[in-house]
Amino acid sequence: MNLPIPEIPILTYDGGDPKTFLKDYLKRNERDNAAARETAERIVEDVKRNGDRAVLAYTKKFDGALLTSDNIRVSQEEIKEAYAAVSDKLKDVICHSIKRIRRYHEKQCRTSWLEPFAEGEMMGQMLRPVASCGVYAPGGTAPLASSLIMLTVPASVAGVEKIIVATPCSKDGRLNPSMIVAAVESGVSEIYKIGGAQAIAAMAYGTKEIPKVDKIVGPGNVYVTMAKKLLFGVIDIDMTAGPSEILIIADRTANPAFIAADLLSQAEHDALASSVLITDSRDIAERTVA
């Protein structure tokens, strides 16, 4: 698929008050989220009342996919097909990433402890994993297998027994094979082909086909974020993430390819993401755009 490449502006500061120059360019998008919140509220309430029927209806409306209760969950046959479709090189990259991320989070593990505090008193803390976790993995604009891995592996390291993934499907009701392979290799119990606020609501309340979880993690669009915000208290959440942003400061010794990769790593998340480079080298700016 050939997507249009947006123009990347290069702005030149040529003196004057730098605060005035930067004011308009550094202003975050002052988007009014009231409409998105109202939409998310309606979807959440509909899923709460009507369960799978509502989830399937919204999947048809927003993703164009005609799912049923029989194929809303990724089957073993689909998992086999995904492994056959993903190249050995990409499988190696996925497994290598999981290994590195697991090693990192194993260093964060803490243990419970209990010790005497005063006569007849004890102090301490008990650390134990939640029983279940729902991972929302964006897949609309781009299949973010990296995000999926970085969300599921910490849950696995923490000892969460049941980890499920919800990620939006294409119009033909299928998921990107790399997302399926990444989920399975990360130790995911179940994968569901649903996205948006309806996926968050389904995992928060539980439906006939989708289990209720104790915590939901993962980024998403404004509707996903609003749904997480609305349902905090019904379930636990990680945070209300997004839109993504990154600011890189570089001089002429920097590698333009590295800068471009870092800018793209955030730009791919959302149309509202902000990726900015500040440099004293016009050559670096032009080579980064290229």
pLDDT value at 4 more than 70: no
104: number of Cβ within 10 Å: 13
Tell me: do 152 and 279 sit in the same domain. Answer: no
pLDDT 10s digits, 121-153: 999 999 999 999 999 998 766 788 999 999 999
Q: Please say which residue of 237, 259, 277 terminates a domain.
A: 237
Tell me: do 135 and 208 sit in the same domain. Answer: yes
Whether residue 52 is contained in a domain is answered as yes
Tell me: do 250 and 233 sit in the same domain. Answer: no
Tell me: do 254 and 132 sit in the same domain. Answer: no
Tell me: do 264 and 131 sit in the same domain. Answer: no
- The 3-class SS string of the chain reads CCCCCCCCCCCCCCCCCHHHHHHHHCCCCCCCCHHHHHHHHHHHHHHHHHCHHHHHHHHHHHHCCCCCCCCCECCHHHHHHHHHHCCHHHHHHHHHHHHHHHHHHHCCCCCCEEEEEECCEEEEECCCCCCEEEEECCCCCCCCHHHHHHHHHHHHHHCCCEEEEECCCCCCCCCCHHHHHHHHHCCCCEEECCCHHHHHHHHHHCCCCCCCCCEEECCCCHHHHHHHHHHECCEEECCCCCCCEEEEEECCCCCHHHHHHHHHHHHCCCCCCEEEEEECCHHHHHHHHC
127 vs 26: CA distance, rounded Å: 42
Tell me: do 144 and 260 sit in the same domain. Answer: no
pLDDT of residue 103: 97
Which contiguous run of DSSP H or E holds residue 158?
A: helix 145-158
> What is the pTM assigned to this prediction?
0.84
pLDDT of residue 211: 97
pLDDT 10s digits, 201-219: 999 999 999 999 999 999 8
Which contiguous run of DSSP H or E holds residue 165?
A: strand 162-166
pLDDT of residue 125: 95
Residue 217: φ, ψ to 5°: -130, 160
pLDDT value at 28 more than 70: no
Expressed in angstroms, the distance from the first to the final Cα of the chain is: 20
269 in Cβ contact with 224 (< 8 Å): no
pLDDT 10s digits, 244-280: 889 999 999 999 999 999 999 888 777 778 899 999 9
Whether residue 160 is contained in a domain is answered as yes
Confidence of residue 2 (pLDDT cuts 50, 70, 90): low
pLDDT of residue 191: 98
Q: Which residue carries 């929302």 as its tokens?
A: 136
Closest CA to 195 of 284, 62, 105: 62
pLDDT 10s digits, 92-106: 999 999 999 999 999
Tell me: do 50 and 93 sit in the same domain. Answer: yes
200 vs 215: CA distance, rounded Å: 10
Confidence of residue 29 (pLDDT cuts 50, 70, 90): low
Least confident of 113-122, 140-149, 156-165, 212-221: 140-149
Whether residue 228 is contained in a domain is answered as yes
Whether residue 75 is contained in a domain is answered as yes
Whether residue 142 is contained in a domain is answered as yes
Q: What CATH number should be reported for the domain holding residue 53? A: 3.40.50.1980
185 in Cβ contact with 90 (< 8 Å): no
pLDDT of residue 88: 97
217 vs 220: CA distance, rounded Å: 10
The structural domain count of the chain equals 2
Q: Please say which residue of 201, 216, 237 terminates a domain.
A: 237
Whether residue 21 is contained in a domain is answered as no
pLDDT value at 27 more than 80: no
Q: For residue 177, give its domain range.
A: 36-106+127-237
Q: Please say which residue of 237, 261, 281 terminates a domain.
A: 237
Q: Which is it for strands 132-136 and 215-217: parallel, antiparallel or unpaired?
A: parallel
Tell me: do 186 and 65 sit in the same domain. Answer: yes
pLDDT 10s digits, 37-73: 999 999 999 999 999 999 999 999 999 999 999 999 9
Burial of residue 162, with CB atoms counted within 10 A of its CB: 0-12 exposed, 13-18 middle, 19 or more buried? middle
Tell me: do 187 and 216 sit in the same domain. Answer: yes
Tell me: do 218 and 248 sit in the same domain. Answer: no
Top pLDDT among 145 and 2 is at 145
Tell me: do 177 and 82 sit in the same domain. Answer: yes
pLDDT value at 26 more than 80: no
Closest CA to 41 of 192, 229, 235: 229
Tell me: do 216 and 254 sit in the same domain. Answer: no
Whether residue 250 is contained in a domain is answered as yes
pLDDT value at 1 more than 60: no
231 vs 212: CA distance, rounded Å: 12
pLDDT of residue 73: 97
Confidence of residue 91 (pLDDT cuts 50, 70, 90): very high
Confidence of residue 183 (pLDDT cuts 50, 70, 90): very high
Whether residue 199 is contained in a domain is answered as yes
pLDDT value at 221 more than 80: yes
